[in-house]
């Protein structure tokens, strides 16, 4: 066992504080990673504040992790000491169910092991996330990070990148497809960059026009404010695909009406509240309402390679560990531009 510095939530209502945690010894199939950078995802905030249900405290979160391999177990074949690697939202799965066998570990029928708040099959402890100096992960859940990408910016691809890449791929974002991205935060701005690189016609639907210049610079073709009722009139029956990244409940009816025939609204935003829908809104234009959870390990590697090929990294603001709590407040105010990344050397 190894003791490492980390930041943990002591309860649902208190700020995160410095702690030490134990990382397990490197098992035969394990990779030990010295964490260089960890992104802040809105899911970290939902989790530590108990918004998705009770958790056990203290809890270290963080599932956008990039670092360097410092040790590998005897049976490891995929990674070696010195490699630049990443870890996302999962650190294990059953590997046997039909979804795991098909490469959809995120939909493991026995439940994948999340990077934090999961039960680690290696030792039965509760998994602790990336706001820490080092982590030990089974090699099959460790990704290769292309060296051409800026290491200080790449971490958010491990969640925000794959969570938007997967539905954009699955629902065929590409030339001739009109794609709307709702919410220009961490996930939203990645969806804009990725959908643009896929060749789609991209529209941002943000609460206001305050980030319009950024949106257009990042690859959006159009930008509308959702606080303007005319937006919903002008864009009726228009989109092939809408990716909703908003962390709070929205009026889904209003957004479904923006879909043209056979269009899909896929929700990746994860508010705990139910989202009411009238089926008649789905009958019209044969619309679909869908959800999507991160992406499989193979697909995450594909996304990293796609981003390397297209030179895509997130827009980030680098912070020190003692700035995590104020960064949370800015995320909650929709004042993130567009992902906070923690310099893990400041956990020392
Ligand atoms: P984020 O950076 O906070 O972005 C969310 C954006 O939604 C904000 O920047 C804001 O954009 C908009 N928004 C926030 N509150 C709003 C409100 N009350 N009404 C309308 N718009 C609002 O969060 P994130 O890290 O991108 O995560 C977004 C959501 O996705 C979270 O719920 C997170 O848990 C979830 N998530 C899901 C998965 C998955 O696998 N499905 C993976 C990762 C994250 P504007 O300022 O442009 O309006
Ligand atoms: Zn996340
Ligand atoms: Zn499985």
Do 149 and 251 share a domain, yes or no? Answer: no
198-226 pLDDT, tens per residue?
999 999 999 999 999 999 999 999 999 99
**Can you name the residues that pair with 84 across neighbouring β-strands?**
68
Same domain, 186 and 220: yes
d(CA 67, CA 31): 11
Query: How high does pLDDT run on average in the chain?
Result: 98
Whether 36 and 149 map to the same domain: the answer is yes
In terms of domains, do 111 and 196 share one? no
CB contact burial 214-253 (16+ within 10 A = b; e otherwise): bbeebbbbebbbbeeeebbeebeeebbbbbbbbbeebebe
Q: Give the ligand with the smallest distance to the CA of 99.
A: 3
Total domains present in the chain: 2
Ligand 1 atom nearest 332 alpha carbon: 3
Q: What is the pLDDT of residue 169?
A: 98
- For residue 298, how far is its CA from the centre of ligand 3 (angstroms)? 14
Strand order in the sheet with 201-206: 222-225, 201-206, 178-182, 239-244, 259-267, 288-291
Q: Is residue 306 part of a domain?
A: no
Say yes or no: 116 and 233 in one domain: no
| pLDDT (0 to 100) of residue 100 | 98
Residue 203, Cβ density class (10 Å: 0-12 exposed, 13-18 middle, ≥19 buried): buried
Position 296 in a domain: no
Q: Are residues 260 and 200 in the same domain?
A: yes
- CATH code of the domain containing 320: 3.90.180.10
Write out pLDDT tens, residues 43-62.
999 999 999 999 999 999 99
Residue at 304 is within a domain: no
Residues lining ligand 1, judged by CB closer than 6 Å?
41-43, 46, 159-160, 163, 183-188, 206-207, 211, 245-248, 250, 268-270, 292-294, 331, 334, 336
Q: Tell me, what's the pLDDT at 54?
A: 97
* Residues forming a β-bridge with 143: 86
Range of the domain at 221: 160-291
132 and 281 part of one domain: no
- 183 and 285, same domain (yes or no): yes
Same domain? For 6 and 153 the reply is yes
128 and 171 part of one domain: no
Nearest atom in ligand 1 to 205's CA:
47
User: Are 206 and 101 members of one domain?
Assistant: no
Is 299 a domain residue? no
Burial of 56 (0-12, 13-18, 19+ CB in 10 A): exposed
Report which ligand 1 atom has the smallest distance to the Cα of 294: 40
Smallest CA-to-CA distance from 308 within 183, 144, 78 is with 144
Q: Is residue 269 part of a domain?
A: yes
Q: Is 307 among the domain residues?
A: no
In whole angstroms, what is the distance from residue 36 CA to residue 47 CA? 23
pLDDT for 267-324, tens place per residue? 999 999 999 999 999 999 999 999 999 999 999 999 999 999 999 999 999 999 999 9
Distance CA(237)–CA(285), nearest Å, equals: 8
């Amino acid at each position: 066992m190894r003791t490492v510095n980390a930041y943990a939530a002591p309860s649902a209502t208190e700020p995160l504080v410095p702690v030490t945690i134990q990382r397990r010894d490197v098992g035969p199939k394990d990779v030990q990673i010295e964490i260089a950078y960890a992104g802040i995802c809105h899911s970290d905030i939902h989790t530590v504040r108990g918004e998705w249900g009770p958790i056990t405290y203290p809890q270290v979160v963080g599932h956008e992790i990039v670092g360097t391999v410092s040790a590998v177990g005897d049976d490891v074949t995929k990674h070696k000491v010195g490699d630049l690697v990443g870890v996302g939202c999962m650190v294990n799965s059953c590997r046997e169910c039909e979804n795991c066998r098909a490469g959809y570990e995120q939909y493991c029928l026995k439940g994948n092991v999340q990077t934090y708040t999961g039960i680690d099959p290696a030792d039965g402890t509760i998994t602790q996330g990336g706001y820490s100096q080092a982590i030990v992960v089974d090699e099959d859940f460790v990704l290769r990070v292309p060296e051409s990408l800026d290491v200080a910016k790449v971490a958010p691809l491990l969640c925000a990148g794959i969570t938007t890449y997967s539905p954009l791929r699955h629902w065929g974002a590409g030339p001739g497809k009109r794609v709307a991205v709702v919410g220009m935060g961490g996930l939203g701005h990645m969806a804009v960059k990725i959908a643009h690189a896929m060749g789609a016609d991209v529209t941002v639907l943000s609460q206001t026009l305050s980030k319009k210049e950024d949106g257009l610079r990042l690859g959006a073709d159009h930008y509308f404010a959702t606080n303007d009722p005319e937006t919903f009139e002008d864009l009726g029956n228009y989109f092939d695909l809408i990716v909703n990244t908003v962390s709070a409940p929205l009026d889904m009816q209003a957004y479904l009406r923006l879909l043209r025939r056979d269009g899909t609204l896929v929700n990746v935003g994860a508010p705990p509240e139910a989202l009411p829908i009238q089926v008649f809104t789905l009958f019209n234009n044969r619309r679909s309402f869908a959800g999507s959870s991160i992406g499989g390990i193979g697909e995450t590697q594909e996304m990293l390679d796609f981003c390397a090929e297209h030179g895509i990294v997130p827009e980030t603001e680098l912070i020190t560990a003692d700035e995590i709590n104020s960064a949370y407040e800015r995320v909650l105010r929709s004042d993130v531009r567009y992902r906070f990344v923690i310099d893990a050397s400041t956990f020392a």
